[in-house]
Structure 1
Amino acid sequence: MNLERHFSDRARRMSPLAIRDILRRGDQPDIIPFIAGQPVPGLFPLRPLGQLAHQLQDVEALQYGNSEGKRPLRDRIAERIPAASGERTLIISGSQQALDLTAKLFIMPGDKVAVAEPTYSGAISTFQVYGAQLLGVACDDEGMVPQALEQALAQGAKLIYAIPNFMNPTGVDMSLARRQAVVDLARQYDVVVLEDDPYGALRFDGDPKPNLLELAPERVIYASTFSKTLAPGLRLAWLVAPDWAWEKLVIGKQTADLQSPTYLQQLVYELLEDDFLERQISQLCAYYRQQRDWLLAAMDAHFPAGARYGRPAGGMFVWCELPPHLNATALLEEALAQKVAYMPGAAFYPNGGGDHTLRLSFTLATAAQMEVGAARLGRIFGKKS
C-alpha cells in the first residue's frame, strides 16, 4: 500500500518550517529564551478579556457570521489605518492566512516573487508550497535596495513581499525613500505588493512612516494582526485590499475556513472601546524598549568586536552579523549545551546563505538572563574568532 502517491504536487512541496525543530529544542524551561518571536505573556489582557467574556451574553456571537468579518470590528480597525476602509477590510485567522490567501490568488507554479533577503521564514514556506520561485532582494540598514528590487522585477517577479516596519528578522525600519522606491517600482513594472505589518504598532523610537498601503492603495494588499498587541492565541488579524482584489480574497477566505470566529471578533470589538488598544500598545512599547536596551547593553559588554548589530527602533528582534568565517547554525549546538537558544539567520534566507547571522529576540528573557546569555554567547563566538 502506498497511499502517499496520491498526494498532490502542492502537498509534495510542503515541508516543515526550517525553524520548527530549532524552536522545539529551544523551548525548554531552563534555556535562556532569545529564540522565539513571542510576545510577553505577562502583558496579555487576561483580566479584561475574562471580564468581557463573562459579560458577553449575545447569542449572535455564537452564530455563524459572514466571511468578511463583523462590520463594526472592521470599521474600528480601519479607523487606525490611513487609506483603509471598513468596507475593504477582511478579518482573517492570523496574518499567516494573509500570506496563504495572497499566494492562492497570485502564484502559479514557477511564478517569481520578490522577497527581502533575509525575510520571514513563514512567508518563504508558504510561497514555496504554491510553487513560487523566490528572488532574494538585498537589504541594508534602510531596507530593500532599489537596484536589487528592480533586478528582481526585471526578471519577472509578479509580487513583492515586504515588511517595512521592523522587519522580521532584521528589525530594520524601512526609510521613507525606500518605501517610496518600492511602490514606484511596483507601478513601473505593474505588480502587486503584499505588505506584512505585524510589528508596526511596536515603535519605541522615531516617528511613524507611511505604510506602503498609504503610498499605493491601488496595488497594495496590507496585512496586520492582534497577535503582537493583544494575544496570539486569539488568532485574529486583518487585511486591507483594493477594490479589484476584494471579491477574490473574500472567496478565498470562504474556501479556507468560511469565517474567523464570531465570538472572538465580538470580544475584541468590545475590548477596543475606550482607547484600550492605545493604552495596551503604550505599555508594550515601554516594556519592549527597556528589554531592547538591556539586551543591547549585554551584547555591548560581551560580544566580540567583530560582531555587528543595530539598534532597532521597534519590534521584537536584534539582528547580529558575526565575522564571515563563523557559522551561527553550527555554533547553536554549543549554545544549547550552555542553555542559551537563538535563531540562526540561515533560516530566513530563501536561497541559502546567511550562515554567519543570527536573530535574538528580546521579549521573554529577563535582564539577568540577558546578561548571562550574552556572556555565554560572547565566549562561544569569541573563541572561534
Structure 2
Amino acid sequence: MTARGIAASMTELIRSGGLSPGTTLPTVRALATALGVSPATVAQAWSQLRAHRMITTSGRRGTTVSGPPTVPHPTRFERVGHLGDRLSLDLAIAAPDPALLPPLGDALLAAAGSPQLNDYSRTPVTPLLEAAVREDWPFRAEAWTAVGGGYEGIELLCRALLVPGDRVAVEEPTTARLLDILDAFEAEKVPVACDDDGPLPDSLEAALRSRPVMFLYQSRAQAPCGWTISEDRADRLAARLATAPHVLLVEDDGIGALAQRPAASLAARLPDRSVLVRSYSKSYGPDLRIAVVGGASGMVEKIRILRTYGIGWTSRILQDALAHLLTDTATTELVAAAARRYTHRREALAQRLAERGVPTANRDGLGLWVPVADETSALVTLAARGVSVSPGSRFVVASPPRAHVRVATSKLVEDTDTLDEIADLLARAAMTADPLH
C-alpha cells in the first residue's frame, strides 16, 4: 500500500462521514504496524491530508480529523478592518485614492492595437512591457514574467519553491497578506527583527542559523513600518546572506513609483538566487492587475510552468497598457504628483499625532504604524466612533513588546479640521487601556 493509496482511502472515509470531525486517529507507528507498511509511508500520507486541511496534528494530543478537503483562508487579511457595518471612516486598508490614479483610456486604446491579440501563444511578458520595466529594474534579470498582482507573484513563488515545513525568514512585522500566504503553504515563519532602516543584520544572521530556504522581504516603503533599506544596510545584510548560499531571496516591492526614497536592493547584490516582484496596482491602478517578476531564470521559470495549468499568461492588452503608462511623460508626472500627495497626507497625520504624544516612525508608504497601550481597547474605542483601523497583531509572527495598530493614510481628507479630529480620536484610542473610556 502506498502513501497516496492510504491518503485516498482516508479522504473517502472523511468525505462519506465514516470519520467525523474530531475523531482521534491512530499514531503513525500503530497504523503502520496494522497496515504492514513503514512509518515513513504513513507519515507521507498524513502530510498529504494535512496539506488539504483534512487532519490536524497537535503534538502530544495526537492527530484528529478536521473535515472534508478545504482550502486555507487568509484569516489575517480577511479580519483586517472588518469590525461592523456602522463604520463610516475606513483607515484599515491602504488602497490607492481613485482620484490620484492616472486615466487608462489612451493606454487601453493603444494596447488594443497590438498585433499579438487573440493569439493563443503564451506570452510571459510582452516586448513592450519588458522594455519599459527594464529601464529602472535594480539588477539585470535573467527572465521575466507578468502576473496578476504582487501577491499572486509571491503566492506562485511560494507554491513553486516551498514544501510544508520549510522555514522562511520574514520581517517582523510584515504585511498580513504575506503571512497568510506562508500559512497556506504550511511554512514555518522565522521572524527577523527590524529598525527604522530595515532588517537587522544580527537578527537575520540568527534566523539563518535555522536554515530557512527563503528570505521574503520588502525593499522600500515597507508595510506596515515605512522604512527603506539603505545602501549600507543592504551591504551588511548581503554579507550575512553570502554565508547561506542555499537561501533564495524574494524581494517584494508593493508600492513602486509611489515610494519617495530609492531602495538598495539585496537582489542586485545576489542576483543568481533572487527575484524581485514589483506591483503596479497602487501606482497605476488596481484593475490593471499586474505585477512583474524578474530575476534568476530558474525561479521565474517555475512560475511560468505553474501558470500553464491555468490562466497561461496575463492579458497582453493589460501588459501593453501598463507599458504605455510607464513610458508616457504625462502619466509619469501624474504618478509623481500622487506620490507627493500621499506623502503630505501621511506626514500631516503623523505630525498631529506627535503633537498629541503619539510618535510614529514611518518615513514612506501609505500608512502609519501607531503604538497603542492596548490593541483591543484602541480598536473598540475607534469602532465605537465609526472608525476602522487594522489590528497590529495581524502583521506579526510573535507577540510584540508593544501593541500597535496600522492606520491607512492614503485616502485622508486634506482638511485641517478633519485631520485634527482624526488625530484627536487616534491619540485618545492609543492611550486608553479601558474600552470606550
Please list every run of 5 or more consecutive structure 2 residues that lacks an aligned counterpart in the other structure.
Answer: 1-12, 20-47, 54-70
Give the letter for the 2:419 counterpart.
M
Matched, 1:174 2:229: yes
Matched, 1:36 2:86: no
From 104, 119, 126, give the equivalent of 2:181. Answer: 126
From 346, 352, 365, give the equivalent of 1:315. Answer: 365
CA distance in 1, matches of 2:366, 2:119: 36
Which residue in the other structure is 1:161 paired with?
Answer: 216
Which residue in the other structure is 1:283 paired with?
Answer: 337
CA distance in 2, matches of 1:320, 1:375: 13
Matched, 1:358 2:405: yes
Q: Deviations over 1:187-211 (max 9, x none)?
A: 211111100011242233x5x2332
CA contact (8 A) 1:17 1:122 kept: no
Measured after TM superposition, the shift of residue 311 of structure 1 is 4.2
CA distance in 1, matches of 2:269, 2:391: 34
Give the letter for the 2:51 counterpart.
R
Give the letter for the 1:15 counterpart.
H
Which residue in the other structure is 1:24 paired with?
Answer: 82
Measured after TM superposition, the shift of residue 163 of structure 1 is 0.5
CA contact (8 A) 1:115 1:161 kept: yes
CA contact (8 A) 1:67 1:253 kept: no
What TM-score does the superposition give when structure 2 sets the normalisation length?
0.78
Which residue in the other structure is 2:171 paired with?
Answer: 116
Which residue in the other structure is 1:229 paired with?
Answer: 283
What TM-score does the superposition give when structure 1 sets the normalisation length?
0.88
CA distance in 1, matches of 2:122, 2:329: 26
Alignment of 1:1-385 (within 5 A): 3=15, 9-12=50-53, 14-25=72-83, 31-46=88-103, 49-54=104-109, 56-58=112-114, 60-85=116-141, 88-190=143-245, 191-204=247-260, 208-302=262-356, 305=357, 307-312=358-363, 314-322=364-372, 326-353=373-400, 356-368=403-415, 369-384=418-433
Q: Kindly, what percent of the aligned residue pairs are identical?
A: 22
CA contact (8 A) 1:227 1:236 kept: yes
Measured after TM superposition, the shift of residue 74 of structure 1 is 1.5
Question: What is the number of residues matched between the two proteins?
Answer: 372
CA contact (8 A) 1:197 1:223 kept: yes
Q: Secondary structure of 1:268's partner? A: helix
CA distance in 1, matches of 2:84, 2:274: 36
Computed over aligned residues only, the root mean square deviation of the Cα atoms, in angstroms, reads 2.6
CA distance in 1, matches of 2:330, 2:204: 39
Q: Deviations over 1:280-339 (max 9, x none)?
A: 33111221121122211321233xx3x331141x211211223xxx22134202211111
Which region of structure 1 is more displaced relative to structure 2, 360-369 or 228-237?
360-369
Q: Secondary structure of 2:322's partner? A: helix
CA distance in 1, matches of 2:424, 2:52: 43
Give the letter for the 2:138 counterpart.
P
Measured after TM superposition, the shift of residue 91 of structure 1 is 0.6
CA distance in 2, matches of 1:350, 1:296: 26
Which region of structure 1 is more displaced relative to structure 2, 280-289 or 152-161?
280-289
